[in-house]
Structure 1
Amino acid sequence: MLALTQGDPAGIAPEITVKAWRILRESGHPFVFVGDPALLEQHAPVQAVRYLDQGADVFSHAIPVLPLRLATPAAPGEPDRQNAPSVIESIRLAVELTQNGEASAIITNPISKEVIQSAGFKHPGHTSYLAELCHVPGQEVMMLAGPSLKVVPVTVHVSLRHALEQLNTELIIKTARTVADGLKRDFGLKSPRIAVAGLNPHAGENGLMGHEEQQIIIPAIKALQQEGLNITGPMPPDTMFTPVARSRYDVALCMYHDQGLIPLKTLDMAEGVNVTLGLPIIRTSPDHGTAFDIAGQNKADPSSLVAAIRLAAQLAQNRRNAA
């Protein structure tokens, strides 16, 4: 059984949850919504459950819900910090259920970092909180996966200036190892092909346009090749995302956030999935935010959530097979 978190109740999470259930109710991939039933019950049949395994019998005719309660009724498009504790508790409980084996994976609905941080949440977002709950802080790696491309940014949610300060050989090596392990265990790839992006135009062109490739990136690639990883680069970032180039690797290791996410979202915006590697549990998430501006207007596209649920189920099966 899959555990789907509540997300921010004022965003599009309730809407895409209902739409995802309508799409998946007959094709499988049952999930249990961990949150307040009131967010869903005006738009779909809902049935409370005490245990996740009860969700399988419910899913075809109602959305199974493990009930949590909001502090105050949610108004679409109007986030309220009073409900932040419920948002956080949904994540914590879903992780606990996955750790103890009741859930095979967790799918997280979008949250507002600003809202939960205003209520005292000390993490920059989902990922580091999940790593803390799983007792592996600092081991988490964000991968964005779509039908056309998988990307991993080595530096993530920091300014470009800070990304350049953070980038070093050791970080590239650590990230690539986690990526290789995750693709083997969860995606079933025996020898995943990792393509490393350069940092500078034309991958530095032998020092003419920057020295980071020679001083930071190439030493990491050579060290990883000596460990047996199937890793190549650095590749010029402006040509490594063409169809021909993408056919030669399984994942692109990018040096900063937008270097990887711009091509991913250009190619696979509707079906892009955020996958957290490096955790003892499986976690996926739709690759978009709370969309407060369209909440409650029946405009939200559930495609990314549906893709996240399907991928979570597949990764859980792959992990079981690997075990």
Structure 2
Amino acid sequence: MYKTLSPVLMTLGDANGIGPELICRLLAAKAYPDLRLALIGPEAPLVHHCRHFSITPFWTPLDPANPSALADRAPGIYLLTPPRLAGLPATPGKETPAGGLAAGESLEYAVPILAKHPDWGLVTGPLSKAALNEAGFAFPGHTEFLAERSGVGREGVCMHLCGPVLRVSLVTTHPPLSRVPALVTYDRVARCLELTWDYVKRLGVADKPIAVCGLNPHAGEGGLLGREDEDVVRPAVMAAVAKGMGAVGPLPADTVFHRAVGGEFSAILAMYHDQGLPPLKMFHFNETVNVTLGLPFVRTSVGHGTAFGLVGSGRADTGSLEAALDLAMRLV
């Protein structure tokens, strides 16, 4: 048995999206001498991008019927192709159900491995939500897929994105904006605060509190602009503080990110997707990492989408994928 880092699995994501290209370019350019990394997905897109970018193929195929054999392998890069994806053709840059099948089937294959080896990590490549659903996987994204398949459930996890400075958790993930107020409940805010506090402690940055955004403009102005912040958010924050967590809020979202960049907070808990992520991605666009808090295993991902229009151009930045892999290696 090799006494190195715990193995990490990496799904290609949508086989026709930018994921396979980024994986080829990153792993050809950067060495990970202590890591056992198993790519999961069809081989054809990897072969295509290696030819396109004049990269020597760098992976060793493994028997998909025995993925646990990775534990006994020397550090290196390996490939596990789920049986349903064997021979799947590559159509880079085209959004098709086949690409969604590759993404969904790779996740279906990875979850039982991680159930058996919860000390292993998972890095996921970007997927198309439309293609995923067209392929028969009725989930709005990775977070919900992994929460359900791991048995934790959607209410048990928290979507978190981060860069070198900002760290942002989300109370809600991908619902329509009209549904957000009803989904911001005491229990949901409390759960996300708990998971985020555990995460910043693990990172060693819990010397500063988590800033909790208000749902409404100006955090509701004491109820004048909406009661949710006083009736739901504030009691959850107060209960977290009473349990020993560092948290402040609700705070106006229009200033809290400026304060966080200045070093005042360990993380931010935002109420919804487009409250928390535009400031983060403006500041960390090419180095954003998505982390699912609350799963029984480490899961990180790129913070961007499939970028079908950039596939093959070589212009897509590998920084987010590199950061996602580095963080997974740090956490396993």
Q: Provide, for residues 290-315 of structure 1, a one-character-per-residue CA deviation record: whole Å limited to 9, x for no partner.
A: 11111122222111000000000101
Matched, 1:32 2:38: yes
**When the two structures are superposed, what TM-score results if normalisation uses the length of structure 1?**
0.88
Equivalent position of 1:277 in the other structure: 293
Alignment of 1:176 onto 2:190: no
- Matched with 2:19 is 13
Is this contact kept in 2: 1:97–1:103, CA < 8 A?
no
Does structure 2 conserve the Cα–Cα contact (< 8 Å) formed by 1:72 and 1:83?
Answer: no
Which residue identity is paired with 2:294? Answer: G
Aligned to 1:291: 307
8 Å Cα contact 1:152/1:254 also seen in 2: yes
> Structure 1 pair 53/257, CA: closer, same or farther in 2 (3 Å)?
same
* Residue correspondences, number: 311
Residue 241 of structure 2 is aligned with which of 203, 225, 233?
225
Instruction: Return the alpha-carbon distance in structure 2 between the equivalents of residues 256 and 298 of structure 1.
Output: 33
Which letter does structure 2 place at the counterpart of 1:154? V
Q: Using the TM superposition, give the Cα deviation of residue 218 of structure 1 relative to its aligned residue in structure 2, in angstroms.
A: 1.2
Cα distance in 1 between the residues matched to 2:233 and 2:191 = 12
Deviation at 1:92, TM superposition (A): 2.2
Q: 1:195 aligns with which of 197, 211, 220?
A: 211
Question: Offset at 1:72?
Answer: 3.8
Which digits, 9 at most, give the CA deviation of each residue in 1:100-122, with x for residues without a partner? Answer: 22872000001111112112212
| Structure 2 stretches lacking a partner, 5+ long | 1-6, 51-55, 64-68
Aligned to 1:249: 265
Matched, 1:67 2:73: no
**Cα offsets for 1:112-155 (capped at 9, x unmatched):** 11112112212222112212222111211100011010001111
Deviation digits for residues 46-75 of structure 1 (CA, Å, limit 9, x no counterpart) = 321343246644x3xxx4212343564121
Please list the CA deviations of residues 279-300 of structure 1 after superposition, one character each: whole Å capped at 9, or x if unmatched: 1100000001111111122222
Q: Is the CA contact 2:281–2:288 (under 8 Å) kept in the aligned structure 1? A: yes
Structure 2 counterpart SS, 1:97:
helix
CA distance in 2, matches of 1:172, 1:6: 32
38-47 vs 256-265, which moves further = 38-47
Is the 1:12–1:291 contact (alpha carbons within 8 Å) kept by the matching residues of 2? yes
For the structure 1 residues 55 and 15, does the alpha-carbon distance in structure 2 shift closer, same or farther, using more than 3 Å as the test?
farther
Q: Secondary structure at the match of 2:286?
A: coil
Asked whether the equivalents of residues 13 and 102 of structure 2 are also in contact (C-alpha less than 8 Å), the reply is no
Distance 1:242 1:263 in 2: 9
How large is the RMSD of aligned CA atoms in angstroms?
2.2
- Write the deviation string for residues 138-179 of structure 1: whole angstroms up to 9, x where unpaired: 211100011010001111211221112222222211221222
Alignment map for 1:63-142 (pairs within 5 Å): 63-68=77-82, 69-70=85-86, 72-101=88-117, 104-138=120-154, 139-142=156-159
The whole-number CA distance in structure 2 between the counterparts of 1:201 and 1:294 is 37
CA distance in 1, matches of 2:32, 2:261: 38
Match of 2:61 among 43, 48, 51: 48
- Aligned to 1:279, what secondary structure does the other structure show? coil
Q: Which runs of 5 or more residues in structure 1 are unaligned?
A: 317-323
Does the alignment pair 1:2 with 2:8? yes
Q: Which moved more, 1:98-107 or 1:115-124?
A: 98-107
Deviation at 1:245, TM superposition (A): 6.1
Work out which of the residue numbers 235, 238, 253 in structure 2 matches 1:237: 253
